[in-house]
Chain A
């Protein structure tokens, strides 16, 4: 294929995509949509439309539309009209949508948000505050059809780079854009490329890091499932810039849908000559391969990732040498994160200045966050850098459910920290989040409310790092385990004031002496919660109380005046801790009680509570 043919295909594909008559029906079918039932909805829509013999109806699966609470989501596009969004669709609703909307043109308001008061997702604040660059195509195009991608400028950036720019100019433009890596560290992408470009070698590599290890983040999965070609196109551009002809996508094994769609994408790109030998007649060859992870968080770290692709245990090693000098099989290698890559085609299409028009001076562009936890609107949000956390949590996320009080937001996953109400007006960018004691990380944003215990949250993250430490260096392997033991003690009510000091000391040493960033950042969740929620730690240690009522061992179970003396609880208590006469209020002997909660479940009068 040459450029003229690409443009011809684009014209034709665009006609197919922007329906000129009839309807285009899009079903959000990323992993999350599928879990909510998107496959049944897709099948029903198709079956009903076929049964009615409807013409000009194009029903397609797409990636994540973004609002998890409304899944499965169906959006109907018609020429000259605003799209219509149906939410929480099931087979029955799908059939009615076909019978009414697609067959007769009658929209079905009762399946829309607020019974039709909101006709499509663009009308709600959740979307209005967002700026979609990375997620531009996500939830709109069919990720399993390369024509959809080509219709919306797909592979145009690669064509431009290959035919009008030298490798040096390609690197320079990336530098000028100010793009910083979205995988966690925020390292300038153009700089990284220039290091690898300078090296002379018979073979270089570019790797896409799709290991997405942060437990509670799913941006990279959504990009791969919703717009896989954007990542492939960017890898080819990066390959051209640094002089690599071979790329690897390292994808975590837990993402079967992403892998499936990537395989289709690679195959289609190869068939059209957009991957492989002599791409677009430019003489540039580029090939990609997929490698699967096998469940090890540390393999997200670049040197461990390289070891894993080489077929070894995924253990990190000392840097330098940096991968840009000595990477995969000892050759110069660039490793970029999925989201970083997904920005790249548009940067080459619209220019560095365009990209810098979003975001802040030192953090250009947008960032995608996976908003989750105790928040009303869980989902995938892409915001321009520089808007405040408060806007994300209250305007986009609409606060905590059930009127509970917001306590903190955790960013940066197991390497990050908690940000409290005091810092909610911080504009989000790489440097500001570090300044308030957390970090951007890969984009997990988990909200916790008054019902969550911060000591328990710190314990949760540390438990994760202990489990995931590769074991190579002692501070990380042994040190984090000692910290976890202390936190276990504290949550069991056996902590001493000395333990708090030891935690501090261990944290400082592990930070300084661990081999890779996994260990160096592992103490962060503990340090940040100790700083902002000292009172909660002290309540556990001195008063043997868990203020949030989470740590089982520190709770008392008591019987209230609502007790009717039915004796049901006495019968279920496994340790005979409850006494009382029939028809009189019962009492629990706290010294015998093991807090199993069996009595609470058994009580018909809700007269037993945890305190």
Chain B
């Protein structure tokens, strides 16, 4: 476990049971769940041996929704109730959704907090809820296969996802009843699976083109440390766009008006995808369109025509590739290997383009469908505490710059893109009016200089500033990004100490209250007792804290604490241990806080020891 690791690298002696933790690749087109069993990470199949779960949910009146292949099969006959590619809507407002336009055959209704909801036969659903349905299905699969409750899950997200999209994904996990151990970037997960497998060292480019997103990441692998140097991409670019381009072409050839016929549009999309897949091997593909009047158009799509349709889409991956090299401070020449991930990299045309940009033939010997889930499972296993931890470490970055709005609608950047996370940064701003008592803070994400061109993440206000002349009030705004890449912001007036802070809740996200309500509803639905669930959760948390403090004491209690200090901690330990077996949720929570307070000083001393140890321990082999 982590704590023993600190004093005795590599020698974990604490007995602990194996915790069930999984990695989930929540994809635009397909989702997977993977787990490490007996030291081997692999994806888990369903009862019928299928590993990929199509990310499709079909809502039915009066019964539970269908997820996966059954839902996908109904997409053409029941397009309005069958939701596919919902990942493209995550963290997006109704305006963004309108911009995706005709691409989506559903009906939208604006929801609370501007988050769009999809109208179905079974009511209105937010993208977060639809995603939660997919996650729930994978959770059930994992629990049935592994034979127990899951401790937690690592869920992957495109590296280029912004804060709102990440937050939405984490909310979906919570809603599905999962403890989200970490949000992990998809290319980083792929690198982990690939790098550990090949014992690779050097600089790697991971080119990930899936159904809905494109990511390009540059990583340095060095003695088990996976250091992301830079990442770039487009969170709305993928195989889906090619399907649409081909479907539009087919309908045009057949002389059919696209918007007139949702059923026909869905069928065309399905057939377009089939043709696209065929053209990964064949020189041409047969295509047909059934017109609304029942007549049929038949034709063929040659490779030449196909390339003319998809080349502009593939071309959009090139600029991010160039940018990522520049941001990483390297040239294509410095790259040891290019790894292709995502189903769309099966297309010869994509491979050619990637090879041309990086000047070397990319590796394709890993299964591009499963590699992301497998990497996530490896990380989940570590975070659950099942592994001696000194073998692997992931250092990831934030994909887009973060800043706040200043005068004139301009953005002042506070954290630059590609900064390694976690990170915290503060910047001081001054009041600009005499007697100003409040300051509005508008948090944005993006690279452009104008607020209007960036994504608005949140707004909050610092109030109660004592009146001063303009320029005398100093407001320090602190941005903190955690290891999931999620942002929290606080502001404090420096002369008076007036403070205000927010965990950034994206404008198009769900509020905590909404999530609580949805959770309660889904539990009521599952006929489970809410109190019992709360108690169980609090007990699990108490167990985690107890185990952590016990192993910290075993490792450093003698060296770093006086006998009296140690007794103080042990008293709180004993108290929590007995509270834990009771049924009073509030008292267990208090016991946890009391133990937290009692161990603060101890924690600080252990950390200080760690600084010296980290540098001393590595001097011989690394610094020599």
State yes or no: do A and B come from one complex: no
- Chain A residues with CB under 8 Å of chain B are none
